[in-house]
Amino acid sequence: MIKAENLSKRYGEIHAAASITFEVNKGEICGLLGQNGAGKTTVMKMITGFIEPTDGIVTVDGLDVTTNRLVVQNKIGYMPENSPIYPDMLVQEYLLMIAKLRNIPEDSQINAVKEAARATGLEKFMTRTIGTLSKGYKQRVGICSAIVHKPQVLILDEPTNGLDPVQIIEIRKLIKNLATKSTVILSTHILQEIEAVCDRVIILIDGKIARDVPLKDFMETRQIQLSVEKNVSYEKLNTLKNQISSISQISHVAGNENDPSNDYIIEWSGDRAPVPQIIKAATDNNWNITSITANPPGLEKAFATLMLEHAQSSIDKSTKEVVA
């Protein structure tokens, strides 16, 4: 549905985006994740045709955005980070204005607005002035204006920015519902946002793609966290490697100096976690297991690792330049 090939945007010597290449399939919810300034908004603006790329091509439904701007924009619903809503207008006035700007036939505009309002939970607020709404409902107005023409693609820039926890949960549910009819790309710098909503994540660092994988890949694990009583030392527990062939490594989770932890990370290979074998071995050795849980790497750990690798790479590069 969306295809970016070597997409770049430069402002003088600043590379806001560099050689971005990815595809988003129909019906997918794809998250752009990165710290502030990573290039998320720049990529979104190039997809929507708000800015032209310095290099590369982006297509939506097979159409080049640069050469078919208006046709493509009619297929897209876009809510920027600061949604351009008018606080002095009634909700229904604003949405009807958007329907007209979207060239929806006059006799279909009211129904289109009603459908969009129903989808975003705004029916009871149509006669309210936008400026009197909470931030969460203002976000709903922004999303509603983005879907009033039933777009094939929905682009949301930081859709939950500044919302309280209850509003965030509601907007997440709304995005998932909208994804049943549209392909969705959303940007955020909040890790939990991606985990709660997306099927896939593209991590951007300094305008480049650092990782592009299905979200489930971050949640799959080859690790188990095992907690045992204090009388089981690492040396004793490490004998499991000889008893259970699928265990590749056992490492100690460090506690504080005065009270060492009796938690261990067990890494394994194969199709299934060797939990039954571990329990049997513990029983045979009279070890008391207090807990045994999966230990997925998680998005937070993966993101932190990527940022650390990037920082180290930058240091190495600077060092080489100084030496040269």
**pLDDT, mean over the chain:** 87
Instruction: Tell me whether residue 302 is in a domain.
Output: no
Instruction: Tell me whether residue 265 is in a domain.
Output: yes
Q: Are residues 167 and 278 in the same domain?
A: no
Alpha-carbon separation of residue 221 from 225, 273, 274 (angstroms): 11, 9, 13
Q: What is the DSSP secondary structure assignment for residue 90, as one 8-state letter?
A: B
Q: What pLDDT is attached to residue 77?
A: 93
CATH number (domain holding residue 276): 3.30.70.260
Q: Are residues 98 and 18 in the same domain?
A: yes
Q: What pLDDT is attached to residue 273?
A: 84
Q: Where are the beta strands (DSSP E) in the chain?
A: 2-11, 14-24, 29-33, 55-60, 63-64, 76-79, 153-157, 183-188, 200-205, 208-214, 223-228, 247-253, 263-268, 289-294
**pLDDT of 321 higher than 80:** no
CATH number (domain holding residue 189): 3.40.50.300
pLDDT band at 181 (very low <50, low <70, confident <90, very high): confident
Q: What pLDDT is attached to residue 316?
A: 61
Query: How far is 112 from 257, CA to CA, in rounded Å?
Result: 65
Query: How far is 183 from 74, CA to CA, in rounded Å?
Result: 14
| 184 DSSP β-pair partners | 29, 154
Q: Are residues 160 and 177 in the same domain?
A: yes
Ramachandran quadrant class, 192 (left: phi over 0; alpha: psi -120 to 50; beta: rest): alpha
Q: Using an 8 Å Cβ cutoff, are 152 and 182 in contact? A: yes
Instruction: Tell me whether residue 177 is in a domain.
Output: yes
Q: Are residues 164 and 278 in the same domain?
A: no
pLDDT band at 255 (very low <50, low <70, confident <90, very high): low
pLDDT tens per residue across span 111-158: 999 999 998 889 999 999 999 999 889 989 999 999 999 999 999 998
pLDDT tens per residue across span 193-206: 888 899 999 999 98
Domains identified in the chain, total number: 2
Q: Using an 8 Å Cβ cutoff, are 286 and 236 in contact? A: no
Query: How far is 302 from 294, CA to CA, in rounded Å?
Result: 16
**Residues of the domain holding 245:** 221-294
Instruction: Tell me whether residue 273 is in a domain.
Output: yes
Q: What pLDDT is attached to residue 127?
A: 96
